[in-house]
A and B are shown apart, each in its own frame.
Chain A
Amino acid sequence: MKKLAKSPWLLHYDASSCNGCDIEVLACTTPKYDIERFGIINTGDPFQADILLITGGVNSQCEQVVKQLYEQMPNPKVVVAVGICACTGGVFKDCYNIKGGIDTVIPVDVYVPGCAARPQAIIDGVVKALEILEEKRQGYREHAGKGES
């Protein structure tokens, strides 16, 4: 595994989730699943995060927040939508206040389905995100190299 893949720091944001998926995200950090084994830290700071983990669909209240969090994260970065609401809007899809899945606002790289998503599925999703992160890192380096010359 390469540089980024060895030290991915998460930012967890609850867009409009029922907290079911959030409990499962927190379960990942407990002794049973222990995501810190992989060097993953659940940081609360977008400036220091590599992976944005979002639960719940986007509503008009949190749309700006999601955009801002995404913009505050330094490149390269990936977004993981956790739970069916974050993927598509889920059962709340047709509600008047719900815009739909996270991908209606920011680009999403990995979709983790489930209601609620199981910790195993979340960890699998994060590992999948790491591959994409590594690809993006190489793209970012080439881009940065061009910028310098």
Chain B
Amino acid sequence: MMPVLSVLAYLLLAPLVGGLLDGLDRRVSARMQGRQGPPMLQPFYDIKKLFTKQMIAVNSVQMLLNLSYLVFLAVAGSMLFAGADILMCLFILSTADMFLVMAASSDSSPFSTLGAGREMIQMMAYEPLTLLMAVGFYLATGSFHVGDIIRQPHSAVLVMPGFLLGFIFITAIKLRKSPFDLSTSHHAHQEMVKGITTEMAGPTLAVMNVAEYYEMVLMLGIVALFFLNEHWWSWPIAIVACLVVYLLEILWDNAAARVKWRTLLDSCWVATLLTGGLNGLILMLVR
């Protein structure tokens, strides 16, 4: 019964939580820049507006591919919140991203095609760590199952702090935060217009935004996974940890300039090796 409830809660509440977090992000970013910023509910106004706009369909498949992106992200998140296999969840997450890449390369805009290429480079950059992290959870808790991982006597973060650091690093890529917002940026004036979303108008863009909120909650759910254990008090700690990680991402977003794809790939792989690789090695040796 519990898994069904938590999956339902994820499917219904994730867009709301994601939207609120995005509103918080825009407000906090504005304050960091000495501005007042938009209202907290601005992301919802934006999405409502996008749904009322004319649908300029550049081709007949883009909307379908965007919807697939949304559905696969929702499925990946549901697997995490149902307490199922974390490996499977991460694989479906990558599949979802492939649909976004296809949606972006389906239109004729050169900016969009460039964005799709960069999105794939980003996937290459963060994929090794996500897989290593799943192995790390197995080494630390003896199971790939989320349900088992959160029923350990101690939080996983105690033995895998390196993985958490690495995961915070790649969350910046997944949430499209500077310096890693290569494929498309939430801020205006990307060097290639809007990257992968350049030819997405009205409802198509709205679907993509809702999908991003599902993804945001999924990523923070994985952060929470590091902190949850069998005790009830681990839940408030996990929620606070998620908020702290999110605020760190906002801070980084505002403090760093966009890097080139080569720097992204190099730094991400070095970070993966130093955090995930080292932590995984230690886990294997002391086991």
Contacts and interface: CB of A to CB of B under 8 A. Distances in A.
Given A31-B35, A34-B30, A140 B46 contact: no
B232 interface: no
Interface string B200-231: 11100100000000000000000000000000
Given A43-B188, A74-B56, A34 B35 contact: yes
Interface string B31-56: 00111111100100110110011111
Interface stretch (A3-11, A56-64, A84-92): A3-11
A20 interface: no
Contacts of B205: 47-48
A37 interface: yes
A137 interface: yes
A44 B39 contact: no
A39 B39 contact: yes
Interface residues of A, number: 26
Interface stretch (B95-103, B159-167, B189-197, B248-256): B189-197
Interface in A31-81: 31, 34, 36-39, 41-45, 47-48, 50, 72, 74-76
Contacts of A6: 42, 45, 49
Interface of B: 26, 30, 33-39, 42, 45-46, 48-49, 52-56, 188-190, 193-194, 197-202, 205
Interface of A: 3-4, 6-7, 31, 34, 36-39, 41-45, 47-48, 50, 72, 74-76, 137, 140-141, 144
